[in-house]
Amino acid sequence: MERTGCNEGEELGPAHSRGPMEPEIVSESTRCKSEMAKHFIENQLKQRFRSVAERHARRHALEAGLQRENLSDDKKQQLRSALERQESDYMRLQRQEISVDDFETLRIIGRGGYGEVRLVRQRSTSKILAMKKLRKADMLKQGQVEHVKAERDVLASLHDPFIVKLYYSFLDEEFLYLVMEYLAGGDVMTLLMRKDILSEEETRFYIAETILGLETIHKAGYIHRDLKPDNLLLTREGHLKLSDFGLCKLVDVQALSSCGRDTPTRGSEQGMAPSASALSHPDRVAHWRQNRRQLAFSTVGTPDYIAPEVLLKKGYGMECDWWSVGAIMFEMLVGHAPFYHDQREATEFMILHWRKYLCIPAEARLSPAARDLICRLMCDVDERIGTRGGVEEIKSHPFFYGVDWSTLHKKPAPFVPKVEHELDTQNFEHFEEEGRGPGNPGGMAGGGSGRGGKGLAKAGPHFIGYAYKDWEAAAPASPDVVQLNNFVRKPSDAEVHTFLQANDLGVDLIARVRGCSLSA
């Protein structure tokens, strides 16, 4: 007699029979796998329909650009053909699996508390890129999952001259990877360590470019929250780009999550040990320079640039980034951070009591405009420049008199880093490989399993939707593609949503998938 519904040799009995109205009992493991599968399918559908919307937006942007430009009919058709080839290449790229095996590691150029950055060469194109590598287990253990996902989301959604460009994000069983453009000029921290103090003209240039990068982030609905010289990278031409968006957050937040930081000390000054704050101005600059690099590599990080409302874990908005701009500007012109102390808790205490401790030394000889801008950036939120008037209020401050904001990215930079070839890393620290072994099981050498694992299995419940491939990664930068990218831009999330709603693409289907559930 044919039997179904049980394994061979298994007896049917009361334990296996259930009435027609009894719901099937679902284990927690099955429920978890079902939810993972549902989120995975939902994400796949979203990406598929988003690709349709983005392709339409690129075609529309090109046609609009061709209407504005005085080009011959042959040139217009040449650019249309270039777009079609690029779209075809991109669709082909979307079907390919990207893994760490596609990149040759050249050297390590950065190491922090949660991962490292490697200079790599893409095997298929020979393009030199920077690969950020993070261990998934560390992200889970340290509660950094949402921060890692936020960084990927910000980089994938923003295309701007003042934001570092993301080409790929992917993962394997052990690591998360972000593959970005390589900015050979190093970071502003290295620049400040070499020069100690910048002139007001140099400071004006770098602060202006920082403001333009923040303007893009804020318009997209994000707050950076971790702005500091370490996160301001320089191109080989000397222009500035914002990076490291691991603490980025959407602005609709009313209360600060812990972000891995301890509650700041709010006691008295009696617990504060003597520090560099008691030194003369030249000695403070030297002391800060000596200890600055070590702070950058710490898992705890430095609070020197964090706004007081963020330390207090109060509700806050985009204005907290303007405080950080003021702290960076202070360091550029004075030579050290405004509240530098050997003890982290003491630095936090001084930030919270900034009225008493914020002091611009007379030896710095700042102009009235520079002094005024710092003081208006580093003050209470209600009084802070940019809180009510937005970024335009900051741009119109007398310190920026004469700045042409629309062409700043085309202007010569005040400092051009020394870069001798495409593999030149002289503007970065050099790090030794940390091989894994009994004494160092957490070493970052090597990679995970590379290709072969299924997307859902590699993503797990925490990293579904992490993979990304940028449109510009699809083809080499030929002259036509370079010109094409002057017309084509990445549509915003709002534009994609509007297009999908207007054309009734996938909205109901995604909603039905989201509404699916197992019987209790």
> pLDDT band at 39, cuts 50/70/90?
low
- The per-residue pLDDT for 259 is 37
Torsion angles phi and psi, residue 479, rounded to 5:
-55, -40
- The per-residue pLDDT for 225 is 84
Work out the average pLDDT over 212-222.
92
- Please report, for the domain that includes residue 313, its CATH number: 1.10.510.10
> pLDDT band at 10, cuts 50/70/90?
very low
Domain hosting 397: range is: 188-410
Coil/strand/helix, residue 232: strand
- The per-residue pLDDT for 141 is 85
Give per-residue pLDDT as tens, 231-244: 999 999 999 999 98
Give per-residue pLDDT as tens, 454-505: 555 555 667 778 888 988 887 666 667 767 777 777 766 667 677 767 766 6
CA distance 385 to 378: 9
Higher pLDDT, 482 or 320: 320
Total domains in the fold of the chain: 1
Binding-site sequence positions for ATP: 132
- The per-residue pLDDT for 85 is 87
DSSP 32-81: HHHHHHHHHHHHHHHHHHHHHHHHHHHHHHHHHHHHHS---HHHHHHHHH
Domain-embedded: residue 349: yes
Work out the average pLDDT over 91-118.
89
- The per-residue pLDDT for 48 is 72
Domain-embedded: residue 28: no
CA distance 487 to 475: 16
> pLDDT band at 43, cuts 50/70/90?
low
- The per-residue pLDDT for 6 is 43
pLDDT(21) > 70: no
Strand partners, 215: none
Give per-residue pLDDT as tens, 325-383: 999 999 999 998 999 888 889 999 999 999 999 999 988 899 999 999 999 999 999 99
The amino acid at residue 213 is: G
Domain-embedded: residue 302: yes
Work out the average pLDDT over 292-297.
50
- Running DSSP on this structure, what letter comes out for residue 19? -
- The per-residue pLDDT for 279 is 54
Give per-residue pLDDT as tens, 426-438: 988 888 877 654 4
Work out the average pLDDT over 21-50.
65
* CB environment 405-428: b (16+ within 10 A), e (fewer): eeebbeeebeeebebeeeebbebb
Domain-embedded: residue 119: no
Q: What is the mean pLDDT of the chain?
A: 79
Coil/strand/helix, residue 276: helix
The pTM of this model reads: 0.78
On whether the CB atoms of residues 333 and 197 are closer than 8 A, the answer is: yes
Give per-residue pLDDT as tens, 163-210: 999 999 999 999 999 999 999 999 999 999 888 899 999 999 999 999
CA distance 288 to 292: 6
Higher pLDDT, 396 or 83: 396
Closest CA to 66 of 76, 77, 56: 76
- The per-residue pLDDT for 504 is 66
- The per-residue pLDDT for 257 is 37
Active site residues: 226
pLDDT(211) > 60: yes
On whether the CB atoms of residues 164 and 241 are closer than 8 A, the answer is: yes
pLDDT(124) > 50: yes
CA distance to 86, 134, 170, 171, 242, per residue, from 448 (Å): 31, 11, 11, 8, 29
